[in-house]
Structure 1
C-alpha cells in the first residue's frame, strides 16, 4: 500500500494524475478514429461477401425483414457493425445455458405458485 501523501507531495501527484489522464484521453481518441471503419456503409455485394451469402439470399432476407438494412432510392446499404450485431443475435444457447434457464424458470414459477 502506498504511503499517505504529504501536502508538499500534492503538486507532483496532481501532475502525475494529469499525465495519466492525458494518456487515457489520447487512447480514447485513437480508438474513436479507428471505429469509423466499423461504421463503413457497404453495398449489397460487399454485405453478401461479408456475410458469406449469395446476393439473392441477402435480398430475400431484406424482403422478409430479417436483416438490418438502409435504403436510399433503389439502393440498399448495410453497416458492418449492424451486420455483426445481427450475426451475434443469432447465437444458439448451449445445453448448459438452456438447463440453467429452465432451473431459473422453475424456481421463479414455484415462488409464484407458493404465493397463491
Structure 2
C-alpha cells in the first residue's frame, strides 16, 4: 500500500466507510439466510409456501413423499428441507441432457 497525503484522508475515510457498510449488509444477509435455514413451519405455513392444500400436504406426509418432522400428533417442516425437496424435482432442459450425454461419452 502506498502512502497517501493529508488531503486524501477524507477520500480514504469515505472508501473505508463504504466498504464497511457493504460488509455489514453482507453479514446481515448471510445471517438472515442462516435463520431461514432453521425456520420451522407448521402445516398451514408449509401449505402456503408450497401452494398446496393442507389435505394434499397430509396426503404427501402419509405417503412419505415430503420431508417432515413429527412431535406427538403435530407435524412440522423445515423451510430449507421443503425448498430442497422442490429443487430435487427439477426437470432438466434438453441442452442439459445433451451436455450430460457428451460428458459421459468422454469418460
Structure-2-length-normalised TM-score: 0.69
Q: Which of 1 and 2 has greater Rg?
A: 1
CA displacement, residues 83-110 of structure 1 (integer Å, 9 cap, x when unaligned): 12211121000112111111211221xx
CA displacement, residues 59-83 of structure 1 (integer Å, 9 cap, x when unaligned): 2322343322222222111122321
Residue of structure 1 aligned with 2:3, choices 7, 16, 32: 7
| Residue segments in structure 1 that go unaligned for 5+ positions in a row | 109-116
- CA root-mean-square deviation: 3.0
| Deviation at residue 17 of structure 1 after TM alignment | 5.4
After superposition, residues 5-44 of structure 1 pair within 5 angstroms as: 6-9=2-5, 12=9, 15=13, 18-32=16-30, 34-35=32-33, 36=35, 39-44=38-43
CA–CA distance in 1 between the matches of 2:75 and 2:17? 46
CA–CA distance in 1 between the matches of 2:26 and 2:105? 44
CA–CA distance in 2 between the matches of 1:21 and 1:76? 44
Number of aligned residues: 104
Structure-1-length-normalised TM-score: 0.65
